[in-house]
Structure 1
Amino acid sequence: MDLQLAGRRLLITGASSGIGLATARLLAEEGARLALCARDEDRLRTATADLGARTDVVTASCDVTSRASVDAFVATAVDRLGGLDGVVCNAGRSLMRSLDETTDEEIRDEFDLKIFGALHVIRATRTALAASDRGAVVIVNAILSRQPETRLAVTSAARAGLLNLSSSLAEELAADGTRVNSVLLGLIDTGQWQRRFAESGADDFAAWSAEIADDRGIALGRFGSADELAFPIATLLSPRNSYTTGATLEVGGGVHRYV
């Protein structure tokens, strides 16, 4: 199927690894032109070095919690690509800690990253997306936004706020002709989980992750992969999905425990 992404100008935050990098690779295969950012520019350029042979790629360091940093990156992306047609707000992390173990500063940082990490990007790209024939925003969020866990209490609360904000943005940006949708991820095998596996002392990632999947009630009994998130993100960016906005798509292996 042709997703009609060839030549589309797409911006991705948090693109140096995991879901952001997998999405960039898939979109490059589809012929999209890319603006990619991450905090560590050297790591980003190393990870995406091969993409330049397939398509136009703009890379830059960007702190999504800083409006000035985001504005500078977006201005460069719009100038180099001649505009923007889509945005993937992907920068994020999980704070696995109880409330008693979490400082006020860490709580503020978590909300800053989740809320302003998306809001700064959407504000900065709004005009460019409105000028596109079919502008689209995909916000990478988590099932935690609807199904909180005590081990991730602060992250769950911040993600719930982001999900609510995403619905408001979908309504507001519809006037521009820009669609806003969310992908809610479950447990995905990314660098965070690889680090936790290394710290666990276990010697078999498949067995270790399957045990966690069982504990979390994941129906498919395993973690997902970054590639399994990249495809639904790409489909929501596609002009073929032009009547979908304000939607949430769960990609969690059947982990949800609510109606």
Structure 2
Amino acid sequence: MDLQLDGRRILITGASSGIGLATARLLAEEGARLALCARDVQRLRSATEELAAVTDVVTAACDVTDRSSVDDFVDSAVDRLGGLDGVVCNAGRSLMRTLDETSDEEIRDEFDLKIFGALNVVRAARPALAKSDAGSIVVVNAILSRQPELRLAITAAARAGLLNLSRSLAGDLAVDGIRVNSVLLGLVDTGQWQRRFVESGSPADFDEWSAEIAHDRGIALGRFGTADELAFPVTTLLSPRNSYMTGAALDVGGGVHRYA
């Protein structure tokens, strides 16, 4: 199926690894032109070097919580690509702490990253997206936004705020013909989980260790997801073929959800 993404200009935050990088690779296969950012630009360029042989790629260091940094990156992307058709708000992390273990500063930082990390990008990209005939924003969020866990209490609260904000943005940006949708991920095999595996000192291999966690968390498919499995729904939501879908939240968590 042709997703009609050939030549489309897509900006992705947090693109140096995990879901951001997997999405960039899939979009490149579809012929999209890319603007990619991460905090560590050298790591980003190393990870995406092969994409430059396939399509146009703009890379830059960017702190998504800093509005001036975001403005500079988006302006550069629009200038070099000649506009924007899509944005993937992917920059983020999880803070595995209970409420009692989390400082006020960490709480503020978590809300700053989740809320302003997306809002700064959307504000900066909106004028360019409004000029596209298929402007689309995909916010990479988590099932935690609907289903909090005590060990991820602040991250869950911040993600719930982001989900609410994303729905508001869908209504607000519709006047400009810009669609806004969310992908809610469950447990995904990314660098964070690989680090936790190493820190655990488990004698099992990663597959066995992660399968046990998946069982404890009630994941119906009995395993973690992969970045590639998340990249596909992100990419399809950007497609002009999804032109009547906005304000939606797509659950991609292997059956871990417990909400109706």
| TM-score between the two structures when normalised by the length of structure 2 | 0.99
Q: How many Å separate the matches in 1 of 2:259 and 2:191?
A: 28
User: What is residue 241 of structure 1 aligned with on the other side?
Assistant: 242
Q: What is the one-letter code of the residue matched to 1:248?
A: A
User: What is residue 161 of structure 2 aligned with on the other side?
Assistant: 161
Q: How many Å separate the matches in 1 of 2:103 and 2:147?
A: 23
Deviation at 1:175, TM superposition (A): 0.2
Q: How many Å separate the matches in 2 of 1:87 and 1:204?
A: 36
Q: What is the one-letter code of the residue matched to 2:208?
A: A
Q: What is the one-letter code of the residue matched to 2:55?
A: T
State the superposition RMSD in angstroms.
0.4
Q: How many Å separate the matches in 1 of 2:217 and 2:171?
A: 33
Q: How many Å separate the matches in 1 of 2:178 and 2:45?
A: 30
Q: How many Å separate the matches in 2 of 1:86 and 1:158?
A: 24
Determine helix, strand or coil for the equivalent of 2:88: strand
Q: Deviations over 1:48-100 (max 9, x none)?
A: 00000000000000000000000000000000000000000000000001111
Q: In the alignment, is residue 172 of structure 1 matched against residue 175 of structure 2?
A: no
Q: Give matches, 1:29-108, under 5 Å.
A: 29-108=29-108
Q: How many Å separate the matches in 1 of 2:2 and 2:214?
A: 34
Q: Deviations over 1:186-225 (max 9, x none)?
A: 0000000000000011231111000000110000000000
Q: What is the one-letter code of the residue matched to 1:130?
A: A
Q: What is the one-letter code of the residue matched to 1:208?
A: W
Deviation beyond 4 Å, 4+ runs, structure 1: none
Q: How many Å separate the matches in 2 of 1:112 and 1:213?
A: 29
Determine helix, strand or coil for the equivalent of 2:151: helix
User: What is residue 128 of structure 1 aligned with on the other side?
Assistant: 128
User: What is residue 200 of structure 1 aligned with on the other side?
Assistant: 200
Q: Deviations over 1:90-129 (max 9, x none)?
A: 0000000111111000000000000000000000000000
Q: How many Å separate the matches in 2 of 1:215 and 1:156?
A: 18
Deviation at 1:258, TM superposition (A): 1.2
User: What is residue 213 of structure 1 aligned with on the other side?
Assistant: 214
| Structure 2, unaligned runs of 5 or more | none
Q: How many Å separate the matches in 2 of 1:193 and 1:79?
A: 37
Q: How many Å separate the matches in 2 of 1:19 and 1:169?
A: 22
Q: Deviations over 1:10-37 (max 9, x none)?
A: 0000000000000000000000000000
Determine helix, strand or coil for the equivalent of 2:140: strand
Q: Deviations over 1:215-241 (max 9, x none)?
A: 100000000000000000000000000
User: What is residue 109 of structure 2 aligned with on the other side?
Assistant: 109
Q: How many Å separate the matches in 1 of 2:58 and 2:163?
A: 29
